[in-house]
Amino acid sequence: MFDFSKKILAFALIAGAALSASAQPAIQPTVDITKVPAAAQASPQFDTDAATEAYMGMMPPAAVARSNAYFEGGYWLILWDFLYGVAVSLLLLNLLWSARMRDMAVRVTRYRWLQPLPYAILFVLADTVLGFPLEYYENYAREHKYGLATQSFGPWMGDEFKELLVSLVIASIAMLILFAIVRRFPNSWWIWGAAATMCLMTILIAIGPVFLQPIFNSPKKLEDPKITAPILRMAHANGIPTNDVWQIDASRQTTRMSANVSGFGNTMRITLNDNLIQRGSPEEIQAVMGHEMGHYVMNHISKILMFFLILIVLSFAYLFWGIKWALSRWGERWQISSVSDPAVVPLVMLMVSILMFVLTPINNSFVRMQEKEADMFGLNASRQPDGFAQAAIHLGEYRKMRPGPIEEFLFYDHPSGYNRIHSAMVWKSQNLELFKPSTEQISKP
């Protein structure tokens, strides 16, 4: 068994360095983005391209440069995350740490069906410790560097610990179920394993708003009728069965603005984070919520589950062939007897990492297509194209606004800020009768 004490010592040294990390404030637009620029105001001479460029010009050059640097750095992180994960899996396999964790699990319980449980706990702990340096850089140091994080190190570590506990529970349940399937169906486990994984994913999506989100944030009903009334009118007009709007205290962790319509049936919730409430204009909030309602009304959760079902089935078929081939070559070296041996988990993680890395553009394109559909639904539902443009500028604090077409295809899981503003201005140009020519600005109450 590898020496946890050395890893914990390294963990502590990094933690000590974190206490001195300095955050830079996010660069905000130096103009009031709640004002509609002259070129974007409704008039008989309205020009879509000019209106789009007028909104794009509201971000100062320093903000654009920082946003581009942050987002483009994320391209490299996709590669480093992949390579780091591959290195951790190979370390666990080739140094026989996974086999030793399996041996410890066997000593803990003589019941074979229960042995994946202690192994799951050991594996998650090992993976968390080994992955902490990159986790710290990516989700703490880098977020502070670009002014997107609001947590000091202690509260951030508290959330990391909560995430660890949740991961332990989910991994333990998943491994118990999947290894039971492998033992029961040695020749068709990939089919039943895919079905079980899909069921687990669906359950997690359903319970997320009610049971998982409150672990990290404090949801509460939003009582301000100036905000809730327009949102609920949109919801009811589009058949969304709710009479409440929820908010979460995301500002304790980040400056990012977001909202969602999540869950199934009785767990369905409309949720805004407090950054959106505090920083967004009423028109921007309505535009964002119209977009989120689009995901619900257009059954995007069901569609993405269907997409993931296809992806999961193909992944399990790939695992069925790949694990058999890998164990025939290196199984003796890794001291892994068969696919039913819990020590095989790092190999599974390695193979899944390779597949997901290769499929990144396909996954991004599927999600981006749904986001585009939700954008158009949101514009039609809220009728707030200028609010939509404001939201795109706020998101531009950490998303590159004007990528090239290949760049957007490969790396974007949402339409770019430029394309979103342009779509909003196209919609406005086609619905000018809804806007009085005298309207010069969108003002906060």
Q: Which of 198, 196, 199, 200 is nearest to 185 (CA)?
A: 196
**pLDDT band (50, 70, 90) for residue 10:** very low
**pLDDT band (50, 70, 90) for residue 436:** low
The pLDDT tens digits of the residues spanning 369-420 come to: 999 999 999 999 999 999 999 999 999 999 999 999 999 999 999 999 999 9
Q: What is the rounded distance in angstroms from the CA atom of residue 429 to the CA atom of residue 51?
A: 10
Catalytic residue of the set 292, 386, 397, 408: 292
Q: What is the rounded distance in angstroms from the CA atom of residue 408 to the CA atom of residue 430?
A: 26
Residue 444 has pLDDT above 80, yes or no: no
More reliable by pLDDT, 5 or 329:
329
**pLDDT band (50, 70, 90) for residue 32:** confident
Could you give the percent of the chain with pLDDT greater than 90?
Answer: 82
Tell me, yes or no, if 292 is annotated catalytic: yes
β-bridge mates for residue 259, sequence order: 272
Neighbours of 264 (CB within 10 A): 15
Q: How far is CA 303 from CA 12, 262, 295, 299, 370, in A?
A: 44, 14, 10, 6, 9
CA dihedral 367, 370, 375, 376 (to 10 degrees): 150
Q: What tokens were used for 16?
A: 């000590």
Residue 34 has pLDDT above 90, yes or no: no
Task: Choose the weakest-confidence range: 97-101, 243-247, 325-329.
Answer: 243-247
The pLDDT tens digits of the residues spanning 170-206 come to: 999 999 999 999 999 999 999 999 999 999 999 998 8
Q: What is the rounded distance in angstroms from the CA atom of residue 52 to the CA atom of residue 389?
A: 9
Residue 290 has pLDDT above 50, yes or no: yes
Mean pLDDT score across all residues of the chain: 90
138 is in an annotated binding site: no
Whether 209 and 262 have beta carbons less than 8 Å apart is answered as yes
Catalytic residue of the set 283, 284, 341, 375: 375
Q: What is the rounded distance in angstroms from the CA atom of residue 106 to the CA atom of residue 391?
A: 54
The pLDDT tens digits of the residues spanning 304-356 come to: 989 999 999 999 999 999 999 999 999 999 999 999 999 999 999 999 999 99
One-letter identity of residue 134: L
Q: What is the rounded distance in angstroms from the CA atom of residue 326 to the CA atom of residue 351?
A: 10
Cα atoms found within 13 Å of the Cα of residue 173, Cβ hemisphere only: 12
The pLDDT tens digits of the residues spanning 51-66 come to: 999 999 999 999 999 9
Identify the pLDDT of residue 268.
78
Q: What is the rounded distance in angstroms from the CA atom of residue 341 to the CA atom of residue 348?
A: 11
223 is in an annotated binding site: no
The pLDDT tens digits of the residues spanning 131-142 come to: 999 999 999 999
Identify the pLDDT of residue 30.
55
Identify the pLDDT of residue 14.
36
Helix axes 360-382, 417-430, angle to 10 degrees: 30
Question: Who's near 237: CB < 8 A, 6+ residues apart?
Answer: 381
**pLDDT band (50, 70, 90) for residue 31:** low
Residues in the chain: 445
